[in-house]
Chain A
Amino acid sequence: MLDTVIQQALNALQLGSYYSLIALGYCLVYGVLLLINFAHGDIFMVGAYIAFFAATFLMGQHALIPPASPVAVKLAFAGFFALLPTFAMAWWLGRKRSHGQALNVNYPAVVGGVFVVFSAAVFYFGQSVSIASGTDKLVVFAVTIPLTMVLTSVVGVFIERVAYKPLRLKGANRLYVVITALMMGIILEYGNLSLLGTSRLSFPTLLPRTVFDVLGAKITITKLSGIAVSFLVFALLQWIVTRTKLGMAMRAVSYDKFAVPLMGIPLDAVIIFTFFLGSSMAGLAGMFYAMNFPVLDPFMGALVGWKAFVAAVVGGIGDIRGAFVGGFLLAFLEVTVAATFSSELRDLISFTILLGILTWKPTGLFGKPKTTKI
């Protein structure tokens, strides 16, 4: 009996870690922009796909460099492939910012360093090595994490730039932004479906299949790492929001959008950073989700994203601690319901919880009531 309870608790922790990671993204964006980013669940799905392609690419399933060639040729290839990201980086560093100068950095050193790092990476991964040993897989795992986070956040920021920002500048009705977000999610789902078809991709195994024994319950390294990562990321986020200048700027924007630009805080940069953070966490969640449930499909983000949103609302949207706790709370509820009644009722239960909370306490469990000024 005890081992079943612990097993279910571990499952709930694992599910809660995904919900929390996604809920944090909902929460950040809502806190800064007062916008429910309905496309966030689908950004999680995009993150899972990006992680899949990044991992298979790094595992040498798509060789960039011709295998049987001398080292010099291989190095030349690596340098060639590293040029584009280096150029992009150089452009980004050197572009004119709104306040006059370019960034004050040691230009040749930074660009050269970036070039060297990229070429080394391409040289290591680009030679269609048959990755067999565990260490190589660990390297792939370690590189996939930042790669997924960065690429997913690019998608999230892109959506914000093309869809939400013009509306914000127009001062459009908030509902239009919500509709746009909803439609963006649908576009991501069906765009993915039409690009990749209905073929279900299966995620490669990156971590060893060691199973730990916790008081009679079983837990794999993958699950454990997912849970650990979610706690780590939450700690990091808490630190960013409370202890750094950017975090302070984010809190300032959420406090008063109109006074912030007058104080010399770059509003757009803060908003981009917010989307960057939120989407990268969704990407991370997507990657760990795909490692645990290795079958990807274009609609995986819809329901999980919804659940995460419910979690954010339960916790009181606009407060990251609330979102984090809410994710685990919802997961525990769901797992309990699935274990005692039936798993079909899970979605029904969580949506009913959402309805109940919004009717009874619209600001969530941890939220503060808002007053409307007349």
Chain B
Amino acid sequence: MGKSLTVPALLAALLLMAVAAAKMGILGQYAITFLCSMGIFIILSASLNLVNGYMGEFSCGHAGFMAVGAYASSILGVFLFVPDQVFGQPLLSMAWSPWAFPIVLAAGFVAAALAGLVVAIPSFKTRGDYLAVITLAAGYIIKSAIENVEAVGGPRGFMGMGKIVQGMDAVAKLPWMLVWIFLGVVFTIWILRRFVYSTLGKGVMAIHQDEVAAEIMSVNTNKMKLIAFMLSSGLAGLAGGLFAYMVSFVNPASFTILRSTECLVMVYLGGMGSLTGSVLSAIVFAVMLEFLKPLEQLKWVAIPLLLILLMQFRPEGIMGNRELSDIFPKLKRYYRFK
């Protein structure tokens, strides 16, 4: 097998195995939901790692962009496929839903990326903790803005995405959400990897090291920040869209500071500036959340405590600044793009 085909072949095999297992009933509904939430965690942590890890800024309004993506995807999907009091009759028949779904997700991506401008533009002048404040405020603003729009249900939330997933099921009997989330994860990791190792990504890392020096060395820092923030928030929006269709109900209460905290924990647990670390920590975190379920409210004492301990004793996280191939160099044989 050639260098360029190993990873895609592995991923395809993984997807086929998951679908087959779900079809044969080895994976129950609970397991599928668990895997889906794990995939969403991976997208969130990898995308936040771009800003918090690679660029060294501190963004904690990630949940806000996730909310924008979730609402944009949901509204577009319902507008296209589901009869609704606000948006009227559907434009397309349900048979089109599997084909139009990537477009729906892309709408979430674009909307969230545009929302990312709210943070990106102030970041030209502000850095450090003030930028952290701006991101927090942006998260709050987005949430309370959504709460004030009655057309999408205000604080009560927005429904109707479940019908679309059922419509996809009617077209072909597959675990659709699992497939979409898997593809979303692959897309996220692929685009982030390509971005980080490109010239642009080098610019982002230069900003992390020393912004003034980067500016002097002709890195267009404003452009870098704009791209990094918009890509990061766009991917958060993608995660939001997938999340909305997975639970088939969105309301502003699921995009609070706690959701942003989850993302932060994953980034710092995995390691700043390590995509492998993001994926690993998201998996660890999803498993940990399952175990913390019986704690209910105390869960939100345990998770922040974990982050505090991380900051005290191992701020570089599991992987630190390294990828898996830095630890096992022999892996580099199996793919071409280093």
Interface residues of A (CB under 8 A from B): 35-36, 163, 166-167, 172-180, 182-184, 186-187, 189-191, 193-194, 306, 309, 313, 344-345, 347-348, 351-352, 354-355, 358-359, 362, 372, 374
B130 in contact (CB, < 8 A): yes
* Cα distance, A345 to B148, chains bound together (Å): 8
**A residues near B118, Cβ cutoff 8 Å:** 355
Cβ B141 vs Cβ A352 within 8 A? yes
Per-residue 0/1 for B38-49: is the Cβ within 8 Å of any A Cβ (1 yes, 0 no)? 000000000000
Cβ A347 vs Cβ B308 within 8 A? no
Cβ A178 vs Cβ B300 within 8 A? no
* Cα distance, A194 to B300, chains bound together (Å): 10
Cβ A193 vs Cβ B297 within 8 A? yes
Cβ B141 vs Cβ A355 within 8 A? yes
Smallest CB separation, B49 vs chain A (Å): 14
Which one of B159-167, B175-183, B256-264 is at the interface? B256-264
* Cα distance, A189 to B256, chains bound together (Å): 14
Cβ A358 vs Cβ B297 within 8 A? no
* Cα distance, A176 to B295, chains bound together (Å): 27
Contact of B144 among A163, A174, A309, A347 (CB under 8 A): A347
Count of chain B residues with a beta carbon within 8 Å of a chain A beta carbon:
39
**A residues near B132, Cβ cutoff 8 Å:** 36, 175, 178
10 tightest A-B contacts by CB?
A183-B304, A190-B300, A359-B122, A176-B311, A194-B297, A186-B304, A175-B58, A351-B137, A351-B141, A187-B304
Interface residues of B (CB under 8 A from A): 58, 60, 118, 121-122, 125-126, 128-130, 132-134, 137-138, 140-141, 144-145, 147-148, 212, 257-258, 261, 264, 268, 296-298, 300-301, 304-305, 307-308, 311-312, 315
Cβ B301 vs Cβ A191 within 8 A? yes
Q: Whose C-beta in chain A lies nearest to the C-beta of B121?
A: A359
* Cα distance, A306 to B136, chains bound together (Å): 10
Given A179-B264, A348-B144, A190 contacting B301 (CB threshold 8 A): yes
**B residues near A186, Cβ cutoff 8 Å:** 257-258, 261, 300, 304
Cβ B129 vs Cβ A348 within 8 A? no
User: DSSP class of A's interface residues: helix, strand, loop or mixed?
Assistant: helix
Smallest CB separation, A301 vs chain B (Å): 13
Cβ A179 vs Cβ B137 within 8 A? no
Contact of A175 among B122, B129, B134 (CB under 8 A): B129
Find the residue from B145, B258, B297 having the highest chain A CB count within 10 A.
B297
Given A167-B312, A358-B133, A175 contacting B128 (CB threshold 8 A): yes
* Cα distance, A196 to B258, chains bound together (Å): 20
Find the residue from B122, B141, B311 having the highest chain A CB count within 10 A.
B311
Q: Whose C-beta in chain A lies nearest to the C-beta of B119?
A: A355
Find the residue from B128, B133, B140, B264 having the highest chain A CB count within 10 A.
B133
Cβ A358 vs Cβ B130 within 8 A? yes
Contact of A309 among B133, B301, B312 (CB under 8 A): B133
Contact of A179 among B58, B122, B257 (CB under 8 A): B58
Contact of A362 among B125, B148, B298 (CB under 8 A): B125
